[in-house]
Amino acid sequence: MCELADRSSPRGITQSCEDPEPYFEDLMRVYARAYAGLEQYAYEDPEELRAYLAWLKYHGQGKIIIVRADGRIIGFAAVECRRHFARKGTVGEIHEIVVDPRYQQHGIGRQLFAQACRMLEQKGCDKLKLLVGATNERARGFYTRQGFRETGRLGKWIRMERVAPRSVPRPQLAAASGATARGGAYPGSVRVAR
């Protein structure tokens, strides 16, 4: 499931696609910091969060994207690509995009999000979906700018989706998602929470 095109940036930020289990403690710390102020959407009990990370691993075929700065985990993304049972096609679910607040506003979240979308598109997903907290206006605005539209509500969550632009040539797709050929810096980022 994990094939990364852009593994590093000039700022010493690296991305790798790997088994998250050895890093659960670090991922839990990053998750807790990223969800500060958004606790209504977070797993706060450590055992529930550990079980959720295991669920993300399972649905990501044993792997997630982990972002590091100078070897320290500062963020992660978890995605799933699956056949849709009721219609023809494959759906890509973006379950988490998490960046430590100390590393936000430097484009890391945007780069991580673009990489997650590219992975799903390369796997043949024709539609990308996600859930975002209804009161998380910052993340909702970010997703809207990335071409997602609101398609429904599930309690405290808003369902958003977009058609995967597989017909767009790769250089245009990268530009549309805010990525650069080098995976360089991006203006702004968001605390993206489920």
Q: Are 56 and 31 in contact (CB under 8 A)?
A: no
Find the mean pLDDT for residues 174-186: 35
Q: Global pTM? A: 0.79
Find the mean pLDDT for residues 158-178: 61
Find the mean pLDDT for residues 72-92: 88
Q: What are 4-52's pLDDT values in tens digits? A: 545 445 478 899 999 999 999 999 999 999 999 999 999 999 999 999 9
What confidence score (pLDDT) does residue 173 get?
39
Residue with the two structure tokens 């797993």: 43
Find the mean pLDDT for residues 79-87: 82
Helices (H), 22-169: 24-34, 46-59, 108-122, 137-145
Q: In what order do the strands lie in the sheet with 90-99?
A: 13-18, 64-69, 72-83, 90-99, 127-133, 157-163, 149-154
Rounded to the nearest integer, the mean pLDDT of the chain is 83
Q: Are 6 and 179 in contact (CB under 8 A)?
A: yes
Q: Is residue 181 over pLDDT 50?
A: no
What confidence score (pLDDT) does residue 164 get?
82
Delineate the domains of the chain, giving CATH numbers in brackets.
13-177 (3.40.630.30)
Q: Which of 74-88, 119-133, 169-183 has the lowest mean pLDDT?
A: 169-183
Q: What are 137-158's pLDDT values in tens digits? A: 999 999 999 999 999 999 999 9
What confidence score (pLDDT) does residue 180 get?
34
CA neighbours within 13 Å on the CB side: how many for 193?
25
